[in-house]
Chain A
């Protein structure tokens, strides 16, 4: 490949890294915002109780559980961020393709929800292992999903990411294929 081609790939990879990082930071911030309101609500209820107002004690447990749920969601997002950040560590390795696609689909969950799209991994007949640069493959899959998402207008669509052409079902309105 020419130097210009390598530079174009590097730019695309950098853009993908930036976009995914921004989406993940947005998601973490959303969890923090909800936790902030729930903690504030618990404080309000405590103050009112201390002032002698009758408060159902079950509300404390209910709100605490919701905070724990939000922490769980944030932990999952941070785990994905960590894995994504470390995908640039190795130049070349063996990759379980379905697992990597599933990971990129998870990274795109929020973006897809915002576009009212549903992304899923098409059923794969067997395990497929490829030897490549994991970050480069993530970028390819991500860009494929971006192209599919960009075709959404008003209607809700399903996007199916398949390992090979025939694996994509006919019912999918939009499909990303890794032949």
Chain B
């Protein structure tokens, strides 16, 4: 499984990518939507884990742009709020929606679940 992690909290995504690699999951990371689009041009990821609220391109907007490029990619949204508004947006737009801080085992289980055919 190839994973793309996108969150403007760079310290979070770098640590998460490293922890996933120790569990046999290849994960690339990006601190911005624009960089994520460049990565997705080069690589066909199975799943993208996107922070909902990011400067410049939001997670929801990024998903729309990624979908055009990679129609088969699955999405998990992350939020720090857990607000009703985020929940509505996240559950409507993505395969799954998770609230930070993350539990890595739950994240992996969710990623496996969303990429299942």
Contact = CB atoms under 8 A, between A and B. Distances in A.
B81 A29 contact: yes
Interface in A94-132: 113-116
A33 B9 contact: yes
A31 to B, nearest CB: 9
A29 B80 contact: yes
Given A29-B80, A30-B80, A33-B9, A115 B15 contact: no
Nearest to A53: B22
Given A41-B19, A44-B19, A33 B12 contact: yes
Given A29-B80, A36-B102, A113 B55 contact: yes
Interface of chain B, main secondary structure: loop
Contacts of B22: 44, 48
A34 interface: yes
A166 to B, nearest CB: 32
Q: Which of under 10, 10 to 19, 20 to 34, or 35 or more describes the interface residues of A?
A: 20 to 34
B80 A40 contact: no
B56 interface: yes
Given A33-B9, A114-B55, A116-B56, A40 B15 contact: yes
Nearest to B104: A40
B11 A26 contact: no
A34 B9 contact: yes
A40 B108 CA distance: 14
Contact of A37 (B19, B81, B83): B19
B15 A41 contact: yes
B15 to A, nearest CB: 4
Contacts of B100: 29-30, 32-33, 36
B19 A66 contact: no
Interface in A65-116: 66, 70, 113-116
Nearest to A48: B22
A29 B51 CA distance: 13
Contacts of B83: 22
Nearest to A47: B22
B56 to A, nearest CB: 6
Given A26-B80, A36-B102, A63-B15, 11 more contacts: A29-B100, A29-B101, A30-B12, A32-B100, A37-B11, A37-B19, A40-B19, A41-B19, A48-B22, A70-B11, A114-B55
